[in-house]
Structure 1
């Protein structure tokens, strides 16, 4: 990397890149809290209340074979070439500048928006209008690019002098776990890795998910709440309630993966609020959650129903599409636990409860639908053709989202 950006030189870099005139004025504002070992994120104020987000990959993580920033630029070019999807407001590109030599991206910063996860944390409410907007936006992207060769060919473009042998299959487990793990994670976290390796059914479910991976449209591939922005005046707007950002991982992929990832993000709100204690078993911990899953269920249903209403063809293409969404959600939870252990070098007992839920989603997706959504798969896919089920009947149909034999001590 030839240039390392900092608060001392970012203004000069932007001026040299032609992104503003010195007469207009500019000032460095701050390093955003989102900066971490992978990227440095700098926020700059321009005249007229415009703000720029300047992102640079850290030297320690920079790799000439890493295509993430190139993917963001390629996505920007895609929207310029194909206005059909470029006109979808929620996914409109914010990219202003790409510098491959120094691994730098510059994009507009949306000061009137905030991260959806932060919105939920502040308000502790889950409006179905927001979830519906997410479902409609995703369906619009997937439907517009579904089995379209021109989009697939465009996304197969490789950086100059490099090759792309195939599109990445994200349906992967944690990889090999060896003795090095003992020096890399807290001792108490070893229980998670022990459980992960214990069940053949879990390994088989992940392998089947990878085998059945079916790339057929353009996908975001990193759809979590932190990559969804909600407008500060969302309740007063008819459109642009949300914006999807950070397209660095986008590519030609499986739409079930996007839906599974966002489903997992919602489930994490519930799972992170669990009450855990050595005197409680997992069922009691789930029942004592500070944010019960019942509070999130209306948004989960609104998201999926709006998606299927806008993109019903996907159910003909993949008849088991809903089950695969559930499985991808379980896989996303497992990877999230692993990443938190690796990055934070800490371990919480709620991770073990989350693992049990993730394992059930992966190995028993059909039975997990009723527990997660509160209604059957038939009611989700065909809401107009099903009758209401009484609360008593619904409770009788519920199945445990974990194996009864494996009640977890200390959780």
Structure 2
């Protein structure tokens, strides 16, 4: 066990979350899962495991996002039942140390995110999609009016997603801009309808409820307490950029997760670049995803209590926000690339098509 793992174990022992004897009897495994923070998975034979996050002191973004996540857990778990639906879909928080900037969460048993579930089962579950749609709408509805900029602005700054501000960005204003993302920025700004539609979404942005801010398959987790043959608990993880914002961004981000999964399942061998051929060779055909997309949306809309024209208008706006989130997905996937890939170019084209004609996109992409 290296020094960083020993440090994590000692911190857990010091806080009474495990015993020294567990080190000796060999019933302990610590695995590194570092991303933005120093993350460790602590698995124990003697009891429930832990997911430990530590901020990187030299990286301000790491410190800020971990503090935001810890504040979100504290707020939700102390809300006296008001945000109980949200608390139920979050991992339990055991410890937050603001001095050491160390966050200890429960390690979800048998955890599998929606992307991994789709790969394992080779299908997209309508039941799970509906459950996440219902859960998302429930906490959006319960948090609305409970949290405001006046009461909670010191925790949540009310920031607008970066993708909506892309018309104001320059290559010099974006840190660590890769060659591919420089191409992406130039491409988006070259087509007038891209900035125009994104500016309109930015102007319509609301700050009326707590949003996750980074909804995607990887953050939608199934916890199998009694094995994968039993019904899982659904959880949403990584609340690092939770904020007071527009719930339509979260819903749209989920819709774009299916679309991104479809696009990224297209061949990347460089042999085929024609869009029609890429679509034809997708490992996950769009038609196989549409029932889950519809199930998610219907559960979300029903739980939010909207129907008829209001539902249709809401869906148009949500899928437009999803199109903006696709730009962000391209940026994230091209972070270390020198040139845009066919996947990225195709995704930007789909994004623009949605932004220009959201109602037609709903019909074509969701079959609604």
Structure 1 residue 224 and structure 2 residue 222: aligned? no
Assess, with a 3 A threshold, how the Cα gap between structure 1 residues 251 and 193 changes in structure 2: closer, same or farther.
closer
Query: Are 2:153 and 1:156 aligned?
Result: yes
> Structure 2: which 5+ residue stretches go unaligned?
none
Q: TM-score, normalised by structure 1?
A: 0.78
Q: For residues 182 and 112 of structure 1, what CA distance do their matches in structure 2 show?
A: 37
Greater relative contact order, per chain length (Cα 8 Å cut-off, separation 6+):
2
1:315, distance to aligned residue in structure 2 (A): 8.1
* Larger deviation, residues 324-333 vs 177-186: 177-186
RMSD over equivalenced CA pairs, Å: 3.0
SS state at 1:342 partner: coil
* Number of residue pairs aligned between Structure 1 and Structure 2: 358
Contact 1:128-1:299 at 8 Å conserved across structures: yes
Quote the residue 1:336 is aligned against. Answer: 329
Identify the residue that residue 160 of structure 2 maps to in structure 1.
Answer: 169
Aligned to 1:185: 178
Deviation of 1:123 after TM superposition, in Å, equals 1.9
In the superposition, relative to structure 1, how do residues 91 and 153 fare at CA in structure 2: closer, same or farther (>3 Å)? farther
Instruction: Tell me which residue corresponds to 2:31.
Output: 30
Q: Distance in 2 between matches of 1:281 and 1:63?
A: 39
Cα distance between partner residues in 2 of 1:10 and 1:181: 34
Contact 1:315 1:321 in 2 (8 A): no
Counterpart CA distance in 2 for 1:39 and 1:225 is 20
Cα drift, residue 102 of structure 1: 2.4
How far apart are the structure 2 equivalents of 1:278 and 1:45? 43
Normalised to the residue count of structure 2, the TM-score between the two structures is 0.86
1:374 corresponding residue in structure 2: 367
Contact 2:209 2:244 in 1 (8 A): yes
Query: Which of 258, 263, 266 is residue 266 of structure 1 equivalent to?
Result: 258
Whole-angstrom CA distance in 1 between matches of 2:359 and 2:126 = 24
Matching residue of 2:293: 300
> Runs of 5+ in structure 1 lacking a partner?
159-163, 376-411
State the distance in 2 between where 1:154 and 1:24 align: 44
2:206 paired residue among 178, 199, 214: 214
State the match for 2:241 in structure 1. 249
8 Å Cα contact 1:80-1:86 kept in structure 2: no
Per-residue deviation, residues 20-48 of structure 1 (Å, max 9, x unmatched): 3435657342102xx22x21111223452
Matched with 2:107 is 109
Question: CA 1:211–1:134 in structure 2 vs 1: closer, same or farther (change >3 Å)?
Answer: same
Distance across 2 between alignment mates of 1:119 and 1:267? 16
2:230 maps to 236
**Is contact 1:132-1:302 (8 Å) kept?**
yes
